[in-house]
Chains A and B, each alone.
Chain A
Amino acid sequence: MPMPPTLRTLLLLAPLVAATNVVQAAPVQQPHSQAELIAERVAVVPGETFTVALRLILQPQWHVYWKNPGDSGMATRIEWALPNGFEAGAIQWPAPLRIPLPPLVSYGYENEVWLLTDLRAPRTLRSGDNVRIAGKADWLVCKDICLPASARLELSLPVANAAATDPTHADAFARTRGALPGTLTDWKLEAYPQGQHYVLRVQPPRTASARLRALTFFPEREGMVDNARPQEFVAASGGYELRIPLPGQAIGQTTALSGVLVAQPGFGTLQAATVDVPLQAARAAPPAPAPASTLGLAVALLLALGGGLILNLMPCVFPVLAIKILGVVQQAHGNAHKLREHGLLFASGVVLSFWAIAGLLLLLRGQGAALGWGYQLQSPLVVTGLALLFFVLGLNLSGVFQIGLSLQSAAGAIRARGAHADALLSGLLAALVATPCTAPFMGAALGYAMVQPALHAMLVFTALALGMTAPYLALCFVPALLRRLPRPGPWMESLKQLLAFPLYATVVWLAWVLGLQTGIDGVARLLGGLLAVAAALWAFGRWSSSRRAGPRLASRLAAFALGVAGLAIALPQGSAGSAARSGPAWQPWSEAAVQASLAEGKAVFVDFTAAWCVTCQVNKKLVLQSEEVEQRFRELGVTTLRADWTNQDPAITAALTQMSRSGVPVYALHLPGRDAPILLPEVLTRSIVLRALEGARKPVSAKLSFTAMEPS
């Protein structure tokens, strides 16, 4: 006999009911959360709209989701089962929170949330009847793990001709309504894509009193923006800007930024607003401010040439220079033609590698990668490689081992070819090592190159390279200068051995850079690796030219094994690293920190620095950390921030680009009430800093009394 349909339905439903919930008016308990349906008024009035709330109470650290759950999760939903003639509106979502679940970010609620829904009663209801408002709620409750939850909820309400608000929940309903996103009337919003971001510009009405401290945008739907990357809030001229990262995978067409914008302390009385800002055409990054934008191509080329010349004296080029001087001296007594060839090859090496770096930079710039000058030394692998290379070169100069001793009798042609390769290679090497040291002049020229068309940028880089090679070319082409060089003699060996020390010093510096990038373990590994490499080269140097085949072979095998072991030990495992530390008075830089201090009427001094930038370290030790300067910072109440670019940091790169710089050091002094910061020269003196700080005096006190009136 066939089963009656109702019984069949009941049987099918039974497990569901048992597993999840029962029909009841009281709160329904689910793991880590509980749900309840609450009416705002005590009765239903025929033909009128009334509000019910789904109240979800969550255990601490557990959350439920907004209408767009973000990177993961599911929006809470209600399926209404209403008597005939009733109509239900959509859930009115309060502004959500960003809930980080690294590396993801979700949008949702913690602790407790009231989800309001408006229901409309039909006119046909009769006073004195009871109506049953029922619905099934489905929600996902997550901490690090997620649990589905479901409840059938119901309310029974009398029908009456008038209905009062239920006083028990009046406060909660009022509070919830207060947190609902409203509509912005007098505020002007515009949005446009720029590079890897959407820029949302927010302009307050003239009557707005309090400054905004933060803005957060919550997208209406998935695939509009990147949920996880931080949104950058900056105070801009006449208002504020929120930079919202583009999504890794766009979904659908984004023609407007639609969603909810939350402000702190608020848009007037409104905390959050529903926004739908049409996207305008993409805009290029803001034009570079002076001096770079006013810098003509000719001036930029001259500056680059000068910068290149000065590069020769930078501590990170000097070791290579040392090697080159030796080479030039050795060749001085060969013929002039060879010497010229040698000089030209070295120059080509430098130019080629500058071109390679510039090409890469342009390529990356084109791809929107937020990279800048000096990025080579931001990789622990490159730092380790350079440390090993310099150490080996140093050992060679010290005479621990010699290359090509057994080839001394070989044909001259081979030696010449070797010399050519050597000249080209040392040119390449010189340029690679020079890049992190942005000498004075170079900052402006580089900043210029970064914001110019590719051809101009390449020309600027060429000028830099030529400037750097000019002294060699001069030596190689003007024999008169060469004749002044000293005659060869035993002093050369002494000089050679002496020149090993700058190389060792460079290794010490690189080890320190590596320490900042990867911590003490990374340095220990590097030193262990250097030890093994030293042993390898010693074994090689001591016995590899032995007349007896046995020791010769053994030493080479041992050298090879030790060398490989050294490399294996030294090369960094993974790229884990901790951030560089800053001194007690120096706080880590962020655009928000700058704005916060400016809002308090404080001047802000920003040190854009990196561990691998020697000029930066010299300025820090001799000027910024001098007692005089530190005391002045304290007296004037200047906020001192340090932007550490030792490891690649897109926010810092962006800030540098905005000042049309692409390298460090940059010293920026922000004064309250002034839009653009004052940029100090790259080589600092105490008097330069102290003079600049004089400008921080008056506005500070004037601004302080003003800020005292603002709500904090």
Chain B
Amino acid sequence: MKTFASLVLCASLAAAAGAARANVAAGQSAPDFTLTDIRGKPQQLSAYKGKYVVLEWFNSECPFVQKHYESGNMQGLQKKYGDKGVVWLTINSTSPESSNYRDPTRSADIVKSWKIHSAALALDPDGKVGQTYGARTTPHMWVIDPTGKVIYTGGIDDKPTFRISDVKDARNFVAEALDEAMAGKPVSVPAAAPYGCSVKYKY
């Protein structure tokens, strides 16, 4: 029985290792996915081909996410780049088994009270999209160019803290990548360390 249990453990660890390996790196093309957003609408990445897309991994209960929303930083970026035609998709890969899970109804309340300004908040309860991309933290960001290529992946900025006061001095890699790419320049920082809480995947 013990052997069996340890075999099962080994198998699940192996599966875990396999899942963590998947990582969509800068320069690669972004894998397509379809998720249902909290309004019940399907959100398919390939439908936004021809536009810049930002993927933002989100968990309302994570202090690092709260830092960027309480400071208004995230909503500001969503608004600024949304106005420039960028499609901003906020994705929550929290498993329904986690105490951090917020169902579509509660998520809608959060969107309203936090004034989240992204194109959609999509739930990924089985974590498939998150694990395909290798999303590790909340927040963890991807910037995809109109051809579907990843031009930035990593943390939102260079201050890996949950202190609101750090937002104003931070170098925001997402904004930088979008500005540079839109100006036809190469992205100077295509990858940086993601930071934040671990994504609460189903296991």
Whether chain B is bound by chain A comes out as: yes
The answer on a CB contact under 8 Å between A147 and B14 is no
CB of B98 within 8 A of CB of A145, answer yes
Q: Considering the chains assembled together, what is the distance between the CA atoms of A184 and B17 in angstroms? A: 31
Q: Which chain A residues border B17 with CB–CB below 8 Å?
A: 103, 228-230
Measured in the bound complex, the distance between the Cα atoms of B13 and A148 in whole Å is: 28
A72 to B14: give the CA distance in the assembly, Å.
20
A76 to chain B, nearest CB (A): 11
Number of A interface residues, CB 8 Å?
42
Q: Does A367 contact B (CB under 8 A)?
A: no
- With an 8 A cutoff between CB atoms, is B20 at the interface? yes
Closest to B202 in A: A102
Please judge, given known A-B contacts A148-B162, A251-B192, whether A581 and B4 are in contact too, CB under 8 Å: yes
Docked complex Cα distance between A581 and B4 (Å): 8
Judge whether A146 and B25 touch: CB under 8 Å: no
Contacts of A365 in B (CB 8 A): none
Partner of A104, one of B99, B136, B160, B195: B136
Evaluate contact between A140 and B21: CB separation under 8 angstroms.
Answer: no
**Could you tell me the distance in whole angstroms from the C-beta of B29 to the nearest C-beta in chain A?**
15
Chain A residue numbers with a CB within 8 Å of B203 are 102-103
A593 CB to nearest chain B CB (Å):
12
> CB distance A106 to B198 under 8 Å?
yes
Docked CA distance A649–B11 (Å):
11
Tell me how many residues of B have a C-beta within 8 Å of chain A. 47
For window 196-251 of A, CB contacts with B under 8 Å fall at 221-223, 226-230, 245, 247-251
Whether A102 contacts B13 by the Cβ 8 Å rule is yes
Q: Is residue B8 within 8 Å, beta carbon to beta carbon, of the partner chain?
A: yes
Given A102-B16, A578-B11, A249 and B134 contact (CB-CB distance below 8 Å): yes
**Total A-B contacts with CB atoms under 8 angstroms apart:** 125
Closest chain A residue to B134 by CB distance?
A: A248
- Chain A proximity of B163: nearest CB distance (Å): 7
Secondary structure at the A interface, as helix, strand, loop or mixed, is: loop
A144 interface residue (CB < 8 Å to B): yes
Residues of B near A102 (CB, < 8 A) are 12-13, 16, 19-20, 201, 203
User: Does the CB pair B192–A72 fall under 8 Å?
Assistant: no
Chain B CB within 8 A of A138 CB: yes
Most A CB within 10 A of own CB, among B137, B163, B197, B200 = B197
B193: which of A106, A144, A251 is its contact (CB, 8 Å)? A251
Q: Is B10 an interface residue (CB 8 A)?
A: yes
B22 at the interface (CB under 8 A from A): yes
Query: Contact check: which of A145, A227, A249, A649 meets B200 at CB < 8 Å?
Result: A145
Q: Which 9 A-B pairs have the closest CB atoms?
A: A248-B23, A222-B193, A72-B198, A228-B20, A102-B16, A103-B20, A148-B63, A103-B19, A146-B197
Selected A-B contacts with CB under 8 Å, 27 pairs: A72-B194, A72-B198, A73-B197, A74-B161, A75-B160, A102-B19, A102-B20, A103-B201, A103-B203, A104-B20, A140-B162, A142-B197, A146-B62, A146-B198, A148-B162, A223-B193, A227-B20, A228-B21, A229-B20, A229-B21, A249-B153, A578-B7, A578-B11, A579-B8, A579-B10, A579-B11, A581-B4
Interface residues of A (CB under 8 A from B): 69, 71-75, 77, 100-106, 138, 140, 142, 144-148, 221-223, 226-230, 245, 247-251, 577-579, 581, 588, 649
